[in-house]
Chain A
Amino acid sequence: MNNIKSILLVGVGGQGTILASKILSEGLVSVGYDVKMSEIHGMSQRGGSVSTQIRYGDKVYSPIIGLGEADVIVAFEKMEALRWVGYLKKGGRMVINNHEIPSVPILMGSVQYPQDIEGALQEKIDILEFKAADLAKELGNPRVMNIVLLGALVKAVNIESVDWDGVIRRNVKKGFEELNVSAFHAGYAIR
């Protein structure tokens, strides 16, 4: 079971984690891995916490990642990084989108959005933090933020020999293929 790798994508409903994880898992399948993927989304409302767990290797049993088991966590939203940090493996890496989406208790003004999440995380773990939304905007469409993050994730996990450009082209809306491919490479190039 030691050759199993686990990747956790966390964020807020509507951020595109599902498409990113679909492309990721399809890429993994294309090079012969056994893959399991589990999604828990809240109810169908917008704005809930969402998480997608992907595990791959020769033979995967549980679709769920345990505490301290994720090789890489990609947080599409900063507070979600904080929520899920316990799942990161010792020596694992966290890719964090520097983007804040306040939840209802924060919007109501009853609690504050946690300050200096980066600082608290940095003390203990290896993080790569950047503004994926800005990069996406520069490329011409803020909605490809998820694919920018996917690029950074693939770099962090170091998955070799997948034709990512091809997998992306097959999975995104017609007419947006090149935009998404360049978003992927922009994310991949970040260090």
Chain B
Amino acid sequence: MRELMTGNEAVARGAWEGGLIFASAYPGTPSTEITENLAQYKEELYCEWAPNEKVALEAAIGASLAGVRSMAAMKHVGVNVAADPLFTFAYTGVTGGCILVSADDPGMHSSQNEQDNRNYAEAARVLMLEPADSQVSKDYMKLGFTLSEQFDTPVLLRMTTRVCHSKGLVTLEDRREKERVPYKKNIRKFVATPANAKVRRVELADRLIAMEEYANTCEINRPEYNGSKIGVITSGVAYQYARETFGETASYLKLGMTFPFPRDLTREFASKVDKLYVVEEMDPYIERHLQQLGIEAIGKAVIPSFGELNTDIVRKSVFGTENEHETIEKEAVDRPPTLCAGCPHRGFFYALSKKKNVVITGDIGCYTLGSAPPLSAIDSCFCMGGSISTGHGAAVALRFTGAKEKAIAVIGDSTFFHTGINSLLDVIYNKGCSVSVILDNRITGMTGHQQNPGTGFTLMGEPTAEVDIPKLCNAIGLKEENIYLVNPLDIAASDAALDAALAKDEPTVIITRYPCILKKFSEQDKEEFDLSPKKCVIVQEKCKKCKKCVSVGCPAIHNDEKITIDEPSCTGCTVCKQVCPFDAIEEVR
């Protein structure tokens, strides 16, 4: 049976068919749906959301150690977080096959950078597979488990946004159970003390030789000859663009396994063609290997080394031609992402935007949109969990040098659990003076509503323990009187909490708590919050068109000849009503 599947669905399907028992992941676009889709097979396997990617990979390593097939999935920047265990895991190797799925995001559709994680496979020395479509994604998962066990290595399955989110036809097969390898103590293999690691490092060199031999001869690194004039070496989704650009006029070496790099195979292919191109997205990974082999090829000299590729770009780069197409003089206005109508972050960010002499460090999540006009209430954003620590560094530096500014850090609930807790430890332990704001919207919002340690539910839908954020802050040394609990839709309360916290010269935490308006409300949400349907309307007779309400940046408020609120999109959050100086906005139930 064949089914249309995204690459992410296919990875999940391949994991299941391949006898996976354990999966752990942290959500991150474009990888999130891999693990979400695994949950449908929960009768036969276990899957979970970990608080961060390092934990996810470590948990997968533990499952491999215990003898079962396991995986961890994450977006490209997540691998940075998980890099610590990864590099040593390459030395120890596996018991049960283990795959790390890295979903890269060329072109930064929804990421803060576009690093090329193929470099990780080479740096950590782990076997790498690069699928080019959904069918291959499924096939490579199954192959990956086998290779992992055969060569005693973790496998990096390197996906990209287009492979993750494009659908293609996939042939479905049955699951083949893989029996657990009975546990046997093996201290020399798995305890990475210097003495043991030195031995494993030498053995790793041998394993890499064996892997390269395989890469030179395997089914998935097979040349496709169409004459000797032009040859193209490519991998991943770039193959599809190369195939459409050159058609039947070129021979192809499509590499499915790109680390260890198949040097002999490449030499042979290069010797059979007159002119050689390398078509790859982002870094010149393949091209560098060719250079080391002394093989001349046209690659990044013409093809962009950053951004996403497509057939248009490859064609234009290689042949300088472009498809005929219409141009219209009129231009469409941008549609930038924005905090949704009814977003609980809006009220708090409105209050925050009015504070003078503050440095506001931000984090990764929906609330990063608080940096967009008209609120413009975030000054920096680097990485997951980084706001509290960058806020701490800024606060201490400002205090040390007698500056008038103070630092405020904003972070979401899931991001706080990811790595923000460590940062808050730094603030408290080192007697910092920043204000850390935890914006708890009761779900992981940006990636599409995943459960996390604060929501009371697991990925597989089971009720579970829930982190008590105020208690946690208290337990790591924060004074109770320095913890402020606020309803973020209440602007006055948000403002008062900010003033009180800013007045102190010691660590403070403001916790805002209100559910994301788009989430499926839990019973607990319904009990705790007034979520009954309501709307705000502008009483036109009272409206003086001062546009105060427009300044909250709500997409439901239309500023035309009249200022109106779009009824279907309004959720009655009342933030606009609170800022109206003429009492012209009414709440209707």
Residues of A at the B interface (CB closer than 8 Å) are 1, 12, 25-26, 29, 34-40, 42-49, 60-64, 66-69, 79-80, 82-83, 85-88, 90, 102-109, 111, 113-114, 117, 120-121, 124-125
Contact = CB atoms under 8 A, between A and B. Distances in A.
A107 B557 contact: yes
A47 to B, nearest CB: 5
B558 interface: yes
Contacts of A103: 333-336
Given A38-B167, A39-B165, A61 B312 contact: no
Contacts of B334: 103, 105
Contacts of B327: 85-86
Contacts of A42: 110, 337
Give the secondary structure class of B's interface.
loop
Contacts of B518: 44, 46
Contact of A45 (B331, B340, B553): B340
Interface stretch (B83-91, B241-249, B299-307, B580-588): B241-249
21 contacts: A37-B167, A37-B168, A38-B167, A42-B110, A44-B518, A45-B369, A46-B555, A47-B338, A60-B168, A62-B244, A63-B167, A63-B168, A64-B162, A68-B325, A85-B326, A105-B334, A106-B333, A108-B373, A108-B374, A109-B547, A114-B331
The 7 closest A-B pairs by CB, nearest first: A68-B325, A68-B323, A63-B166, A83-B332, A109-B559, A103-B335, A37-B167
B204 to A, nearest CB: 37
Contact of B553 (A79, A83, A108, A120): A108
B183 to A, nearest CB: 41
Contacts of A102: 558
Contacts of B337: 42-43, 45, 47-48
Interface string B350-372: 00000000000000001001000
Given A42-B110, A45-B338, A82-B331, A67 B167 contact: no
A35 B555 CA distance: 36
B240 interface: yes
Interface in B382-421: none
B322 interface: yes
Given A44-B445, A61-B244, A67-B325, A82 B166 contact: no
Contacts of A49: 335
B310 A62 contact: yes
A25 B547 contact: no
A191 B340 CA distance: 37
Contacts of A90: 324-326
A120 B330 contact: yes
Given A36-B166, A44-B446, A48-B337, 20 more contacts: A36-B168, A37-B166, A39-B165, A45-B339, A45-B340, A45-B366, A47-B340, A47-B555, A62-B241, A62-B310, A63-B237, A66-B310, A68-B326, A85-B326, A88-B325, A104-B335, A104-B336, A105-B336, A108-B373, A109-B550
Nearest to B444: A44
Contact of A38 (B165, B340, B559): B165
Nearest to B327: A86
Contacts of A45: 337-340, 366, 369
Interface in B531-559: 547, 550, 553, 555, 557-559
A125 B167 contact: no
Contacts of B162: 38, 63-64
A83 B520 CA distance: 33
Interface in B231-253: 237, 239-241, 243-244, 247
Nearest to B554: A107
Contacts of A114: 330-333
Contact of A43 (B4, B29, B243, B323): B29
